[in-house]
Structure 1
Amino acid sequence: MTTDPFALFESWFAEARETEPNDSNAVALATADGNGRPAVRMVLLKGHGPDGFVFYTNQQSRKADDLSANAQAALLFHWKSLRRQIRIEGNVAPVTDAEADAYFATRGRDSQLGAWASDQSRPLDARATFEARFAEMEARFASVDVPRPPHWSGYRVSPLRIEFWQDREHRLHERRLFERSGSGAIGGWSEGLLYP
């Protein structure tokens, strides 16, 4: 019987939350633009389950531009304290407005204001320019809740492949690979091993 990869992810992720000193939900996100030029950066996982893995960003950022041109991505969790990695590859789609609104409402006020003040990934002439824009947003929203900016939302990576990598002595690592064996979100999973 095949192991449920999402239950295994949750088990490993729970351990990481206990052992990692900082940002156990930090994950490397790899994208490629329309010409196939790759880029990778760290983002924070903000939701997960059988429908996929969710992160949020400015939709005018380079990662959003890449995903608009090529709606596929790879994620890599590396938990050094546990000597484990999880690699995820899949298709990407935007979250709903309701999901984005609900998550944005949980962010700290300064983070909400920063989402309005930042032209993420665009050239910045001086730090003072950004700080001035932040101060403008503080004044603009001084007496009201900060709404989600129209250019800020989330993405869900719906996995097609998930690999669980466990470090072993002498580089005799254990690698378990799960691949979606059906179509869409209702497809099942096949499970196998990879040579280290």
Structure 2
Amino acid sequence: MGEPHRFSDYLVLGDGPVADILLWKKPNQSILILVLSTLLWLLFEKGGYNLLSFISNVLFFLVIILFFWAKSAALLNRPLPPLPNLEVSEEVAVKVADEMRVCINHVLSMAHDIAIGGDLKLFWQLALGFWFISYIGSLFNFLTLVYIGVLLCFSLPLLYDKHQALIDDKLYVVQRIVQMQYRLIDEHVLGKTPST
């Protein structure tokens, strides 16, 4: 037998600059983003700075810089700041609306299945999922949770890339255990007979 099939996590991550950064193919950019996110987290979390006031101040300074650049360009006969046409095209708006419509219809369909159809399995899945999210949310504030997500994004893909075979084996064992437990719950708690 040959080596088990190994898929490319580089392709899974988008096969581009995002994959390069998350898999540390461009270490300088990866370190820069990690250091900046750590500094922002320290500024907001430990420094007591507010996200809304930070965004407001950054935009305010940007407007001031562009205003004085435009005024000095007119006085010194220099080119204006290179700003693109700042508008949302109808094509982009329609594409976003279509994506949102699909997501909203999916959520409404699930709500209908639970409320009208009495889908007990889906109800328990959602209940456990919301409970888990609530529990995790009670342990951390939102900004710390986002920062933990950034740290995981920079570490998990790299670890998986280096140890894919070992991790796949362990995940397969966990999947089998979860499937067996799920079957037991289906049979005993929900009263369903196993399908043969």
Higher relative helix content: 2
Structure 2-normalised TM-score? 0.25
Structure 1-normalised TM-score? 0.25
Higher relative strand content: 1
More contact order relative to length (CA 8 Å, sep ≥ 6): 2
